[in-house]
Amino acid sequence: MIMGMSEWQLHISLAELRRSFEVLLKHAEAAAGGDIVRLNEDHFWSIPRQELYDPTSVPTNLTLGGSSRGRGNT
């Protein structure tokens, strides 16, 4: 049985998330060799939320997303 998102929860403190993001950003800075990350690809597959967390089935309603279009949402 697959549990819905409301039936299972993982609790993570904001302090732990902050530490994790800091490690990720330090790695990105080291890999990029500076303060700019260059993306070589713009488009990606977007999976609808209702299909995203069900590993027992293959998503069928994929849409195309774009990093350049989504950048304005950050």
Domain coordinates in residue numbering, the chain: 12-39, 42-74
pTM across the whole model: 0.57
Query: 60: helix, coil or strand?
Result: coil
| Alpha-carbon span 13 to 38, nearest angstrom | 31
> What is the sign, positive or negative, of the torsion defined by CA atoms of 60, 64, 70, 73?
negative
| Alpha-carbon span 42 to 66, nearest angstrom | 5
Most confidently modeled of 3-7, 13-17, 30-34? 13-17
Using one digit for the tens of pLDDT, what is the confidence trace for 17-30? 999 999 999 999 99
| Alpha-carbon span 16 to 7, nearest angstrom | 23
Question: Which amino acid is located at 23 in the chain?
Answer: V
Using one digit for the tens of pLDDT, what is the confidence trace for 50-64? 898 888 999 999 999
